Structure 1
């Protein structure tokens, strides 16, 4: 597979839809069964799998991942990070927000 940065967002959505279809088929599920288990309309599922959906909501995608048993893959996508020494304040508390100083020369 080539670098995913080369893909546009609609192309990535099409790629995910195609992959989702493979997972659905390996789980021996029909689109109707996925719709019933997820509460998502069959039209949305069909458009997602066939590449006609330019975008789907994150919530919809998460529901679909649950149906095919891949919701735990999110841990691989965005695993917990160890505390960063750069974000620890002098009092031992972690910084909640990073603020950049305003530079009038910009």
Structure 2
């Protein structure tokens, strides 16, 4: 799969941030309260909600504080069930990607 272009990446981050903001507001939680309850910095939360992203650890903490960490875990479990995320399934999994094979054309 080709890498995502910067414009698409920004659009995805903006949608995720907006959806997360709506989730927080439905729960009637201020940014300040969520930052404190999650252990994530207020500036990190504001940056995420404004579409500039955050690291995975911060996202996990934020989702846990809202009681929605299970949805993230379910997402990866669904990928594993469909065979798209076998690395995420239990049991033997690949530890490294194979390098492309070089064919001798002679």
**TM-score band, normalised by the shorter chain?**
0.5 to 0.7
Question: How far, CA to CA, are the matches of 1:95 and 1:61 in structure 2?
Answer: 25
Q: CA 1:94/1:76 → structure 2, altered by over 3 Å: closer, same or farther?
A: closer
Which stretches of structure 1, 4 residues or more, deviate above 6 A after TM superposition?
A: none
Q: What do the CA deviations read for 1:40-73 (whole angstroms, capped 9, x no partner)?
A: 121221222123x2x3111111111111111000
Question: How far, CA to CA, are the matches of 2:20 and 2:93 in structure 1?
Answer: 38
SS of residue paired to 2:77:
coil
Which residue matches 1:28?
A: 28
Question: How far, CA to CA, are the matches of 2:55 and 2:38 in structure 1?
Answer: 14
Which structure dedicates a bigger proportion of its chain to helix?
2
Deviation at 1:99, TM superposition (A): 4.6
Which residue matches 2:9?
A: 9
TM-score by length of 1: 0.66
Question: How far, CA to CA, are the matches of 2:45 and 2:99 in structure 1?
Answer: 43
Q: Highest Rg: 1 or 2?
A: 1
